[in-house]
Amino acid sequence: MHFFKMHGLGNDFVVVMTRHLPPQPEELARRVCRLHFGVGADGLVFVLPSDTADLAMRIFNADGSEAEMCGNAIRCVAKLAYETRLFPYQQMRIATGAGVKSVELVVEEGKVQSCTVDMGEPILERQAIPMQGPPGQVINEPLVFEDGLVFRITALSFGNPHCVLFVPSVEEAPVEQLGPQLEFHPAFPRRTNAEFVEVVNTSEIKVRVWERGVGETLACGSGACAAAVAAMLNGFVTRKVIVHLSGGDLHIRWDEKDGHVYMTGPAATVFKGEWLGEA
């Protein structure tokens, strides 16, 4: 199996271009993504043909679970598709588990410098996130933990669920302690990603992300979008913000006209190799 090692702001993936999904992709993802014994990555991504778009993307997290959508992975897929001439156009449509997403590339001398992804409209209705509880939006709502602790959260989805907490300092936020508790909280039947957000000013936020099925990562594209929208819904920032993640910055804009969220950021190819299947 030939692969490319890629990352979006340090959120790293093993990317495979293939016509068919291999047998037991969940087990393969666990083996390939395992640090020291495998290639090491946050996820295994397959680039596939599509009947509804220019190409398709399926992503399996390091624990073998399948993610509906990943903002960093889709930028990597778009870059790879363009630079390998699989789809040599600067605008493309990529089918994901969260629907078809449009991507526009900025190219210099044949190399993709950045990608803007139309992430669509944020899903704000509780049942559609999905999250337990009465109908309506989840904005600055108390969430009770088993030990009785209460944290105020804002929840939403971009085809994958997100739970956002605002903290005084992301550096001091208990991400490793609270991240797993939020991911597996019974209020989220399909588990959830968790974003810890510090508001810097009305146009900048800092974010640390606990990714469902992975753990803390250096960046998360859909998580950055969720954090930005949550900050906007709570009145902390304008509709265009810079999101500072551990691995770098993403630019997020929530358009007032079409209601879509647009994410702009880089992707990088590190190396290519061949998986021998012996690990």
| Mean pLDDT score, 39-65 | 97
Task: Supply the pTM of this predicted model.
Answer: 0.93
- Tokens 């190396």 — which residue? 271
Split at pLDDT 50, 70, 90, the class of 145 is: confident
Region 157-183 average pLDDT: 96
Q: Over pLDDT 70: what percentage of the chain?
A: 99
Q: Could you give the count of Cα atoms lying within 13 Å of 32 in the half-sphere of its Cβ?
A: 31
Max Cα distance, the chain (Å): 57
**Whether the predicted pLDDT of 278 surpasses 90:** no
| Catalytic-labelled residue, pool 33, 70, 76, 225 | 70
pLDDT of 208 reads 97
Q: What residues contact residue 126 under an 8 Å CB cut-off, 6+ apart?
A: 132, 133, 134, 135, 136, 137, 138, 155
pLDDT band at 121 (very low <50, low <70, confident <90, very high): very high
Q: Residue 47 above 90 pLDDT?
A: yes
Q: Note the pLDDT of residue 147.
A: 81
Whole-number pLDDT of residue 4: 98
Active site residue 220: yes
Q: What is the DSSP letter of 19?
A: S
Q: Encoding tokens for residue 88?
A: 């040599």
Query: Closest Cα partner for 85 from 119, 53, 55, 114?
Result: 55
Residue of 76, 163, 220, 225 marked active site: 220
**Is residue 240 scored above 80 in pLDDT?**
yes
Q: What is the mean pLDDT of residues 111-123?
A: 96
- β-bridge pairing 240-245 and 215-217: unpaired
Answer yes or no: is pLDDT of 131 > 90: yes
Quick one: pLDDT at residue 195? 98
Annotated catalytic residue 225? no
pLDDT for residue 274 is more than 70:
yes
CA distance 186 to 35: 30
Average pLDDT score over the chain: 96
Cβ(78)–Cβ(94) below 8 Å = yes
The model's confidence at residue 148, banded by pLDDT at 50, 70 and 90, is confident
* Whether residue 116 has pLDDT greater than 90: yes
pLDDT score at 277: 80
| pLDDT at position 146 | 81
Give pLDDT, residue 106.
96
Residue 279 confidence (pLDDT) above 60: no
Region 173-196: mean pLDDT is 96
